[in-house]
Amino acid sequence: MPIDTTPKPTARPGPLNDQRIDAAQIRQVVGRAVQSQKILDMHTHLYPPGFGTPVANKTGRIDPTGLMLWGVDELITYHYLVAEVFRVVPATELPYETFWTWPKDRQADHIWRHLFVENTPLSEACRGILTTLTRLGLDPDEKSLSAYRFFFSRQDPSQFIDRIMEMSNVEAIVMTNAVFDDNERARWIKEPAIGSDPRFRAVLRIDPLVRNFPAAAEHLSQWGYSTGRKLTAACRGELIRFLNDWIDRQQAIYIAMSLPPEFTYPAAASDPIAQIGERILQEVILPVCRDRKLPLAMMIGSSLQTNPLLRDAGDTSGRADVSSVARLCRDFPANKFLVTMLSRENQHELCVVARKFGNLMPFGCWWFLNNPSLIDEITRMRFELLGRSFIPQHSDARVLEQLIYKWEHSREIISTVLSDMYMRTAKTGRSIYLRDVQRDVEAIFAGNFKAFLAR
Ligand code: HDL
Ligand code: ZN
């Protein structure tokens, strides 16, 4: 279902909105505006109940392969915390394979004990759990998870989504719908209306198409698209048909893919898979995005399965080539690029390239950058170089209740940074007005994304 992108009228000029804000009031006014701003969370891994849930709940309906993750066992076994617990209880003491044979609740008990009870929960992922439990009215000092389990078991998944969205002040949740994931694809084919929950929007995620076209081509031919390993005109036509079929099925609001640190455009002549990936990008993906007026989200810098024994927790980050992003924006001026990069070292260069290309929208503090110190650094850099023409954050939430902490923690930091920016502007003698704050806060948390979609 498309996002309503009709631009909200900017703050009404009028006595209230022309109200000048004294420097001493700026923090308070900005804090209130940021807290009350509804957020369009433009990248998550969340799902509505229609995708099934493996979590015990009030309705009694459980789907072991369901994709809607919520509840304390899913929260505590978030792959960020799996990686962290193996630093406390190393694989030499607890073999990875043994951990993976345990049921989810036993994994969660192990993580709770070692990261929250016997050690001080200091990491951002740990702090997030505590913020979430406390906001839900639960005691974060519990020594076991049983009280939390009882609380979640009494919830109705759909009503709980409403409650969490209200608590985190999120107006819409943008999913990641990986068409090459067999479980996800089967659900869309079985039930075409599966994506119709008005609280959610779909995104067509297509990593293998560029990361490993030969393998992707095999799957596509099994799905009825006559694609061979060579990008002939016929194959190109079939790939375009595939993308359009899925954009229509999902009502996707953008197309997304993650790319490795080694990604370059043009592709390295020595790498045939990268070479055909480049042609897929140039001759299939970008023309479809242009014709359908959809942004392409490029999430660059993830090295997958660096430690495969950690499974979802086994990925790492690497510095990527920002000049490749610049060349894509230059060579495809009719395309819209949402770009987030995983390496801290890439952030300043990405801001500089964004200054040169209006079809580039930097977004979020992604994954290993979603920590207070780095959100602060990156957001300051973006305001200083881009004004407010960027999207400061997405939650990347995989478990529903993460919306609570990921947005509470980010709002606090973004509010502080934005206040500092206003204080600096006010020091020049330019007054700051309430309409400035209302307009800017709406833009960075929702309006910029909606306007970019609508372009
Ligand atoms: O590729 C992505 O969208 C990443 O966000 C991965 O899903 C990653 O595992 C993650 O959850 N990061 O927060
Ligand atoms: Zn993600």
Rounded to the nearest angstrom, the distance between the alpha carbon of 406 and the centre of ligand 1 is 14
Are β-strands 296-300 and 204-205 bridged in parallel, bridged antiparallel, or unpaired?
Answer: unpaired
At 41 the pLDDT is: 99
Residue 83 CA: distances (Å) to CA of 125, 299, 307, 313: 11, 21, 10, 6
Indicate if ligand 1 lies below 6 Å from the C-beta of 205.
Answer: no
Spatial separation of the C-alpha atoms in residues 281 and 284, rounded to whole Å: 6
At 4 the pLDDT is: 74
Rounded to the nearest angstrom, the distance between the alpha carbon of 313 and the centre of ligand 1 is 10
Indicate if ligand 1 lies below 6 Å from the C-beta of 317.
Answer: no
Smallest CA separation from ligand 1 atom 12, residue: 367
Smallest CA separation from ligand 1 atom 13, residue: 367
Indicate if ligand 1 lies below 6 Å from the C-beta of 299.
Answer: yes
Indicate if ligand 1 lies below 6 Å from the C-beta of 396.
Answer: yes
Indicate if ligand 1 lies below 6 Å from the C-beta of 449.
Answer: no
Smallest CA separation from ligand 1 atom 1, residue: 258
Ligand index nearest the alpha carbon of residue 312:
1
Residue by residue, pLDDT tens for the chain (455 residues) are 677 765 554 444 444 478 999 999 999 999 999 999 999 999 999 999 999 999 999 999 999 999 999 999 999 999 999 999 999 999 999 999 999 999 999 999 999 999 999 999 999 999 999 999 999 999 999 999 999 999 999 999 999 999 999 999 999 999 999 999 999 999 999 998 999 999 999 999 999 999 999 999 999 999 999 998 899 999 999 999 999 999 999 999 999 999 999 999 999 999 999 999 999 999 999 999 999 999 999 999 999 999 999 999 999 999 999 999 999 999 999 999 999 999 999 999 999 999 999 999 999 999 999 999 999 999 999 999 999 999 999 999 999 999 999 999 999 999 999 999 999 999 999 999 999 999 999 999 999 999 999 99
Ligand index nearest the alpha carbon of residue 82:
1
**How many Å from the N-terminal Cα to the C-terminal Cα in the chain?**
17
Indicate if ligand 1 lies below 6 Å from the C-beta of 347.
Answer: no
pTM for the model = 0.96
Spatial separation of the C-alpha atoms in residues 179 and 177, rounded to whole Å: 6
Q: What are the boundaries of each domain within the chain?
A: 54-153
Indicate if ligand 1 lies below 6 Å from the C-beta of 238.
Answer: no
Position in ligand 1 atom list of the atom nearest CA 367: 13
Q: How far, rounded to the nearest angstrom, does the alpha carbon of residue 175 sit from its chain's CA centroid?
A: 8
Residue type at position 360: L
Spatial separation of the C-alpha atoms in residues 302 and 259, rounded to whole Å: 6
Indicate if ligand 1 lies below 6 Å from the C-beta of 278.
Answer: no
Position in ligand 1 atom list of the atom nearest CA 205: 3
Token reading at 292: 């359908």
Rounded to the nearest angstrom, the distance between the alpha carbon of 246 and the centre of ligand 2 is 20
Q: Which of 69, 302, 365 to mutate to test the pocket of ligand 1 (most atoms within 8 A of CB)?
A: 302
Of the options 3.40.50.360, 3.40.50.300, 1.10.2020.10, 3.30.1320.10, the CATH number for the domain spanning 54-153: 1.10.2020.10
In 3D space, the residue among 214, 206, 161, 215 whose CA is nearest the CA of residue 184 turns out to be 206
Position in ligand 1 atom list of the atom nearest CA 299: 1
Position in ligand 1 atom list of the atom nearest CA 302: 1
Token reading at 127: 């702090």
Beta bridge partners of 340: 299
- For the chain, the maximum distance between any two Cα atoms, rounded to a whole number of angstroms, is 67
Smallest CA separation from ligand 1 atom 6, residue: 367
Indicate if ligand 1 lies below 6 Å from the C-beta of 367.
Answer: yes
Ligand index nearest the alpha carbon of residue 207:
1
